[in-house]
Amino acid sequence: MCSYMANFRRRFTCLNHPQYPHDVCRLIKALYGLKQVPRAWFTRFSSFLSSYGFVQSRADNSLFTFKCGTHIIVLLLYVDDIVLTGSDPTLLQDFIQALGSVFDLKDLGHLHYFLGIQVQTTTTDVHLSQTKYAYDSLKRANMVDCKPCSTPVAAKTSLSANDGPLLSSPIEFQALVGCLQYLTLTQLDISFAVNNVAQFMASPHQPHLLAIKRILQYIKGSITHGLLLHSQPVHSRILTYSDVDWAGCVDTHRSTTGYLIYHGSNLLSWCSKKQPMVSKSSAKSKYRALSRACAETIWLSYMFSELGIATQFPIHLYCNNVNTTYMAANPVFHARTRHIELDYNFIRERVALGSHQVRFRPSVNQPADLLTKGLLKPRHLLLWFKLVHPLTPSFRGGCVKQESNIHYT
């Protein structure tokens, strides 16, 4: 597969009237910088792709695919930056030339750096990390020389909305939370900790700021870690692990959902999020988490079908609650389950269709436990080594300028 990145240049033209060379024009309305600009630009660019033969993905509007015989080109667009990959280098070069004939673009070559994510490729693997972005976040918080911490959050501790004194200005707190949220793109081991502090954005207190500094200390010790994707996974089945911290929030008593979704041996999607309502039982909270993970697997299967990737069915959903597995497989409603909302019961339909299969997995072998609560150091390290991988990343492309670009491999 070949991947490229491109960046469209912004051009400014100065027009001189031959009869009035010293006069200037007053701008009545500017297009650049207005709210309708992204929509207008996306419409213009997607129209060109459609005329070339690309098909817009229904699962992701920014994803386009072009198929020519057995070959395929995949284009991902983010504003005026695009990532281009495909199975035939000649086909890719032909498209880049056609794209350059219509738009003014700059070819940045092989993909090394895109939107703060550093990419290192080998013959068999792709490593994604945010080392430079993490370093910039530490520098912004004046914690470059801080002492590393072994876990992002202390075990068996919960933050409350009324803990400690109120911060005089929440701006620093909110800026650091935003930086940490973007870091979870490749460092999923901080997802729960970041989700926990992000709940106090409106009115942060002193303990919440201390919790952020602990996360940054943890990042200092794992700054080169990221996701490792294998080009040839062991198998192509979608595997999902879901877990819940029942009533873990001390203020609302809501549960925290955590799930991991693998395609073969590659981790593709994960989530750590507080549930929108209180669950009366642990089985109900785990059933809700299983439902959310099931919906994500359906979306991924649609995405794979558009990319021409075959999905093995049934999709396995692993849960560490026996009652939840029975509830999902049993098509009969009982008095103890009738209070569960009907929109969560589509899992039963999926199980009946044979597209999904719910299986029990003991808590000791549940990797999604890392996304639901703070863990002790031995347990955290055990799961941490399974999910993120260290690699000394290259800083090539780390100073990509703020203009539009095109990347490839």
Sketch the domain layout of the chain as residue ranges: 2-112+399-408, 233-361
Answer whether CATH 3.20.20.80 is correct for domain 233-361.
no
Q: Is the pLDDT of residue 7 over 90?
A: no
DSSP code of residue 127: E
In which element (H, E) is residue 378 found?
helix 377-387
Predicted confidence at residue 242, as pLDDT, reads 93
Label residue 323 by pLDDT band (50, 70, 90): confident
Q: E strands along 323-398, which residues? A: 356-360, 389-390
Return the pLDDT at 348.
Answer: 82
Which has more pLDDT, 310 or 63?
Answer: 63
Query: Which of 324-328, 329-333, 349-353 is the most confident on average?
Result: 349-353
Q: Over the stretch 189-222, which tens digit does the pLDDT of each residue have?
A: 999 999 999 999 999 999 999 999 999 999 999 8
User: What is the model's pLDDT at position 215?
Assistant: 95
When mean pLDDT is compared across 34-43, 79-88, 186-195, 293-302, the lowest value belongs to 34-43
**H or E stretch covering 207:** helix 206-221
Average per-residue pLDDT in the chain?
85
Q: What would the mean pLDDT of 185-192 be, rounded to a whole number? A: 93
Q: Which CATH class is domain 2-112+399-408?
A: alpha beta
Q: Is 61 exposed, middle or buried (0-12, 13-18, 19+ CB in 10 A)?
A: exposed
Q: Which long-range CB contacts under 8 A does 116-124 form with residues at least 24 apart?
A: 116/182, 117/185, 117/186, 118/226, 118/393, 118/394, 118/395, 118/397, 118/398, 120/391, 120/393, 120/394, 121/409, 123/231, 124/230, 124/231, 124/232
Strand 113-114 versus strand 117-121 pairing type:
antiparallel
Report the sign of the C-alpha dihedral through residues 161, 173, 130, 110, in that order. positive
Residue 50 has pLDDT above 90, yes or no: yes
Residue 408 confidence (pLDDT) above 50: no
Q: Could you tell me what percent of the chain has a pLDDT over 90?
A: 46
Please indicate whether the domains covering 2-112+399-408 and 233-361 agree at the CATH topology level: no
| Phi, psi values for residue 338, rounded to 5° | -70, -20
Residue 396 has pLDDT above 80, yes or no: no
In this prediction, residue 353 carries a pLDDT of 87
Question: Is pLDDT of 91 > 70?
Answer: yes
DSSP code per residue over 86-126: ES-HHHHHHHHHHHHHHS-EEEEEE--EETTEEEEE-SSEE
CA distance 43 to 193: 38
Query: What is the spatial distance between Cα 272 and Cα 134, in angstroms, rounded to a whole number?
Result: 20
Give pLDDT, residue 10. 47
Sorted by sequence, the CB contacts under 8 Å of residue 329 that are 6+ apart come out as 348, 351, 358
**Residue 11 scores a pLDDT above 70:** no
Average pLDDT, stretch 347-359? Answer: 88
Q: What is the 3-state secondary structure (H, E, C) of 35-89?
A: CCHHHHHHHHHHHHHHHHCCEECCCCCCEEEEEECCEEEEEEEECCEEEEEECCH
pLDDT 10s digits, 232-291: 665 678 999 999 999 888 889 999 999 999 998 899 999 999 998 888 888 888 888 998
Instruction: Write the pLDDT tens digit of every residue in 98-146.
Output: 998 998 888 888 888 888 899 998 888 899 999 999 999 999 999 999 9
Q: Which residue has the higher pLDDT, 327 or 45?
A: 45
Two structure tokens written together for 409: 């491999």
Phi, psi of 247 (to 5 degrees): 50, 40
Tell me, what's the pLDDT at 2? 55
Model's pTM, two decimal places? Answer: 0.84
Q: Which pLDDT does position 255 carry in this prediction?
A: 93
More confident residue, 239 or 400: 239
